[in-house]
Each structure stands twice: as C-alpha cells, then as structure tokens.
Amino acid sequence: MRPSTARRVRSGLVYAWLVVAVVVVCFPLYYILEGALTPTRYLNEGLPGLVPIHLGFDNFVRAAQVVPLGHQFVNSVVVTLAQTVLQVAIGIITAYALVFCRLRGTRAIFLVLLASMMIPGETTLIANYLTVSSWHLIDTLLVVFLPFVASALTIFLFRQAFLSFPAELREAAVLDGAGHVRFVRSMLLPLTRPTLVSVTLVSATAAWNGYFWPLLVTNSPENRTVQVGIAQLAASEGADVGVVLAGAAMVTLPVLLLVLVAQKFLAGGLTTGALK
Amino acid sequence: MTVSVRPGLATVPARHAPTSPAWARSDRRLGIVLLIPAMLVFAVFVFYPLGRVLVLSTQGTDIFGQAAGSVGLRNYVTTFTDPTFLKTMLNTAIFCGGVVGGRIVLGLLVVVPLTVKLRGMPVFRALLTSPLVVSVSAGSVAFAAMLSPGTGLVNTVITQFGGESIPFLTSTHWALASVILVTVWGSLGFTVLLLLGAFGAIDPEVVEAAHLDGAGPLRSFWSISLPLVTPTLFFVVVTGTVEALTTFGQIQILTGGGPADSSRTLVFAIYQQAFGSGSANFGLAAALGVVLFVLVLALSLVQFGILEKRVNY
C-alpha cells in the first residue's frame, strides 16, 4: 500500500470508531430529547419509536399540568439564581479579603478552607438536616440553597485569579483615590472576567443539578425542585415514558443551551481547579 | 507540565495592600468583615455538623430519631459486626473500582482517536462531551426507562433479536453492574474533557521524534503519550474514587439499593439508616458517615500529598 492509501484507511478507521462512540455515548441524550417529543405509545414500540416522525409537545403540556413540573421548574430557577448569586458574591468578597486586605492569619484561614473541602457533604448531611429542622426550615426553598451559599472551591478559583492581578494596577488605582468598591467594579472584575464567567456557569450548573439535599429537605410537591420532581415522577408514573422524558428534557435543555452559548467558558471552568 | 490538584496550594501573602499604616488598619477591618459570611457558613454547615456527627455516632437513638444518651462505641461495634455492613463495603468497593476503571478505559477509548488530527474533530469533541449536560436525576430516569424489563427500549431490542429479557435493575446479578454503567456514562463527558486537556498539552515534537525513531502509533502511545498523561489519570483515579464513594442519586433512583441490598453502597446505607422507611437511626447513620469521612479524608491526603509533590514534570 502507498503511504497515502494507508493514511486514508487509517483516518477511515478513526472516523468509524468515533461515529460508533458518538452513537453509544450520545444515545441517552438523544433518547431524552426525542422521547420528550414523542407520545408514549410510539416510544413503547421500541426501535420504531426512536425515529422522530410523531413529534409534538403533548408530553410537556401534561408534565406541566398533571404533575407540578412547571411549578417545580420555577422553584429550581429561583434556587439556582439565589445560590449562584450568593455563592459568587461571597466567593468574590472572601477572595478579595484574602488577597487584597492586609490580614494576619490568612494562612490559617486558607487551611480551614482546605479542610472544609475534605469533609464530604454526605457525612455532615444528617447533622445539617437536624440543624435546619430545628430552625423549622424543612420544606422551604430557602433551605435548599442555604448551606451552599459559600463554596470553598469558588473562593479558591477567585483567589487564584486575584493573585495573578497585576500589583501595579492596584497601586495605580489606590494612588488615584479609588475605593475598594470602585476598584473591584471597574478594574478587578472586568480584568478577571473569564474566571467570573466560568465560575458562575459552574456554580449555576451545580445548583441546578442538585439532588440529594433537595430530596431530603423538601416534602410537598409544590416545594420540590424539578430534579427531585422528575425522579419521583419516574417512580410513580414510570409507565408513561413520554412524560418522564419530557421532565428529563426540561431539566437538561437549560444546561444544554448554556453549554452551546458559553462552551468555551464552561469547558474552561469545569477543568479549572482540576488541571492547569 | 505541572499538575496542580487544587488551585493555589502554596499560600502567598497579601501583596497588593497599600503601604500606609492607616490604610493597612482600615484594610484589615474590611478584610475581617468580608470574611464573616463565608466563615459563618462553613462553621454552621461544615465544621459544626462534623463535630455533631462525631458525637451522634456515639449516641443511641430512640424510636422518634432523637438522641438518647451516650452508648460509647456501641454504634461502631454494631456497624462493623453487621454482616450487611460487610456486604455494603464490598458493594462500595466494586462500585468505585468499576466506575473508576470504566471511566478511564472508556475515556481513553474515546479520547485517543479524538487526538488524531483530522477534519471535523471539533464536532466530535463537542458531541462526545455533550452528556455533561445531563444531570444525575435526568440521566437516571432516562436509563430507568431504557432498562425497564417490560417496554424498556433495551429489552425490546434484545427480545426482537430473539434474546431473553434481562432484569437489569431488578436482579441481584445485574443491579450493581447497571448502576455502575449509568454512573460511568454520566461521568464520561468530564473524563473526556480532562483527558483531552492532558493529551493536548503533550509537546508534538516529542511524538514526532518518536515517530522518526521508528515508533508506530501503538508504541508511541504506550511509551510516550500514556506516561505523559499519567498525572491526569492519577487525578481521575483519586477524585473519581471520592466521587464514586459519595454517589447517591443514581442508586436511589435506579435500584433503591436493592434488590436484597445488592446495590447498597455506603452513602445509600447512611440514607437508609437515617431516612429510610421507619428507620431514623441517626446514631448508626452517623457512625457510617464517620466511616465515609475517614475514607474520603485518606483519599484527599493522598491527593494533596502524593499528587501535589511527586507527579510533577
């Protein structure tokens, strides 16, 4: 075989391999999106139901009407917004204090933050449950996000970005008489925007996808988040695959859109903290 | 190439503070105020509950789930001598091993062809990392639908081709394997993203040199590329094990730990002891929580110690 033929055969094999991988890896995602738009009676036909020829929005309508998934979707939006805004805000002010304020004992605080990352949330879950129930907060939306308004990882990522901020710029701002708020708003955040965007996206995705804690601290259907809602829907109405998949699509689409819009930032954000 | 497992392990003193003493004093006051919210949250929801769980684990629990006096180490003795605990730990070990092994093997099988320079690779990359967008509960309910015994897609296909329907989620032989499979799928997107980064950071000249020395693609993969991405693989092993140890949603949604405890892992056991039907035994659940803490702590120390110091190039 001539080298060019060999190369063509090799790239053909690579493509074939990748196509198989895409089919296998992406199939569940396709199943969620296609199934959400296909009536259950077609889905139950097996393979024929997987060809998108009977598309319609009936499943979504029933998911929103028959079960309160629409309401739970709104709950999830509220929880995600509150948790993300607070987590990012607290992340910024904490990192600011650690980097720019002349504090003693920042090393000790740093170790405290490190230590907090080694304590699994699943260990402290029972005690946290007892705490919030003694505050009579069970079955409220507030308690779904309250323990997560500060995140050690978020603080670290901001600290990291702030540490690489040019010292001369900070000096110049101070000499020009800029206060802390002005410095943060017009210099620090604009210049560390990639970090701000990716941390926000990752925080929001994590808040949106939360499951274990929201499951424990909410009881009534109208206070559930949509992630818990779809799991309970699957447990009780598993036979109606179309409606279950419509619920799954409802929670997947916002993140899918987010990734499509901000792919560069999300990929960067997800692997920050992992590898540099 | 340096692998930093967590950002900024090396502490750097505040260096941008202005020099005047008056400024420094007001800065310090502001800094303390700014630290309060985060410290409050960590105190209330991380450190205090850790202490409380340690105390709870030495207490008995009455039928209403209220702490009822110290029982010393009896909860631990009960836990460790319970035959279902052994089974739970075995399940947990199989689960972690299966998930981490599956992630790495499948991750490499997907990423290695992605690193070949060919047209259309960005599209393949985007598609192969797209499962990232699926949450644990959405993925689990989709798989529950696909794997269900009656009208589930997978079994419909199997029976159409003359096979026998497989009880993926309701048989003691299949439940744990099914949950492992779903978890591997759920974490594959992130694994691919990490490995793509690692392979992308390999200096092409090194591979070129190996090629000129007559190394074929397989040989250069084994002897050049794979060793160069070992830091990332170590990272995936350690953090992936912690992640697998703390997996809950898939198990609760897909199998409920069953049948006959065959897919019950440590975290699911904590949930069952504390919140399972009619159980509410917080003392025993807390003891299991402490076991989990010790395991995660050990892995974190491995991560901070060995990875941070040794796996640097």
Judge whether A21 and B128 are in contact, CB under 8 Å. Answer: yes
Distance from CA of A175 to the nearest CA of B (A): 9
ipTM: 0.91
User: Best mutation site among A13, A96, A101, A157 for testing chain B: the one with the most B CBs within 10 Å?
Assistant: A101
Helix (H) or strand (E) holding B107: helix B83-114
pLDDT surpassing 50 at residue B12: no
Name every chain A residue with its beta carbon within 8 A of the beta carbon of B127.
22, 25-26
- Bridge partners (DSSP) of residue B59 are B70
Name the closest residue on chain A to residue B159, using Cα atoms.
Answer: A46
Q: CB-based contact (8 Å) between A204 and chain B?
A: no
Cα gap A57→A34, rounded to integer Å: 11
* Core vs surface per residue B118-132: b (16+ CB within 10 A) or e: eeeeeebbebbbbbb
CA dist list (Å): B312 to A104, A114, B10? 31, 21, 15
Of B45, B126, B131, the CB nearest to A29: B131
Q: CA B288 to CA B311: how far, in whole Å?
A: 33
- 3-class SS at B61? strand
**Long-range contacts of the stretch A132-138 (C-beta < 8 A, 24+):** A132/A217, A137/A217, A138/A217, A138/A218, A138/A219
Mode of pairing for the β-strands spanning B67-70 and B59-61: antiparallel
Is residue A273 left, alpha or beta, with left meaning phi > 0 and alpha meaning psi from -120 to 50? left
A23 burial via Cβ count (<10 Å: 0-12, 13-18, 19+): exposed
Where do the DSSP E strands lie in chain A?
Answer: none
- CB contact under 8 Å between B52 and A18, yes or no, is no
Residue A174 has a pLDDT of 82
- CB pair distance less than 8 Å for B138 and A118: no
What sign for the dihedral angle of Cα A83, A89, A92, A98? negative
Which residue on chain A is closest to B50 by alpha carbon? A124
Backbone angles phi, psi at A41, to 5 degrees: -65, -30
- Work out the angle at residue A63's Cα, subtended by the Cα atoms of residues A57 and A69, and round it to the nearest 5 degrees: 130
Query: Is there a contact between A132 and A146 (Cβ–Cβ < 8 Å)?
Result: yes
Predicted local confidence at residue A99, as pLDDT = 92
Q: Which helix (H) or strand (E) holds A58?
A: helix A58-65
Write b or e for each residue in B259-295: b if 16 or more Cβ atoms lie within 10 A of its Cβ, otherwise e: bebbbbbbbbbbbbbbbbeeebbbbbbbbbbbbbbeb
What helix, strand, coil percent values describe chain A, rounded to 5? 80, 0, 20
Is B130–A259 a contact, with Cβ atoms under 8 angstroms apart?
A: yes
Amino acid (one-letter) located at B126: A
**Chain B environment of A155 (Cβ under 8 Å):** 38
- CA-to-CA distance for A218 and B277, rounded, in angstroms? 16
Least confident among A272-276, B6-10, B66-70: B6-10
Q: How far is CA A220 from CA A39, A105, A138, A141, in A?
A: 28, 45, 10, 11
Cβ-defined contact of B296 to A123 (cutoff 8 Å): yes
Query: How many Å apart are CA B281 and CA B287, to the nearest integer?
Result: 10
**How confident is the model over B243-253, as a mean pLDDT?**
96
User: Is cis: bond before B37, omega within 30 of 0?
Assistant: no
DSSP β-bridge partners for residue B70: B59
Number of A/B CB contacts below 8 angstroms equals: 320
What tokens were used for A5?
């033929």
| Secondary structure element (H or E) that encloses residue A222, with its range | none
- Residue A87: closest C-alpha in chain B: B38
How far is Cα A22 from Cα B308, in angstroms, rounded to an integer?
Answer: 34
Look at phi and psi of residue B187 and say left if phi exceeds 0, alpha if psi is from -120 to 50, else beta.
Answer: alpha
Amino acid present at A179: G
Q: Residues B24, A102: contact at Cβ < 8 Å?
A: yes
Residues A276, B7: C-beta atoms closer than 8 Å? yes
Among the partner-chain residues A22, A119, A152, the one whose CB lies closest to the CB of B128 is A22
- What average pLDDT is seen over chain B? 86
Asked whether B85 and B79 are in contact (CB, 8 A), the reply is: yes
CA angle, corner B214, sides to B210 and B216, nearest 5? 80
Across the interface, of A106, A208, A209, the residue whose CB is closest to B13 is: A106
Is A215 part of the contact surface with chain B (CB cutoff 8 Å)?
yes
Name the residue among A28, A97, A163 with its Cβ closest to that of B134: A28
**CA B13 to chain centroid:** 33
- Six-digit token string for A262: 């901000």
CB contact under 8 A, A275 and B8: no
Residue B8 has pLDDT above 80, yes or no: no
Q: How far is A42 from chain B (nearest CA, A)?
A: 11
pLDDT in tens, chain A (276 residues): 566 888 888 889 999 999 999 999 999 999 999 999 998 888 887 777 788 888 899 999 998 888 899 999 999 999 999 999 999 999 999 999 999 988 888 889 988 998 899 999 999 999 999 999 999 999 999 999 999 999 999 999 999 999 999 888 888 888 888 888 899 998 999 999 989 999 999 999 999 999 999 999 999 999 999 999 999 999 887 778 999 999 999 999 999 998 888 877 766 666 665 543
CB of A103 less than 8 A from some CB of B: yes
- Whether B9 shows a pLDDT value over 50: the answer reads no
User: What pLDDT shows up at residue B265?
Assistant: 96
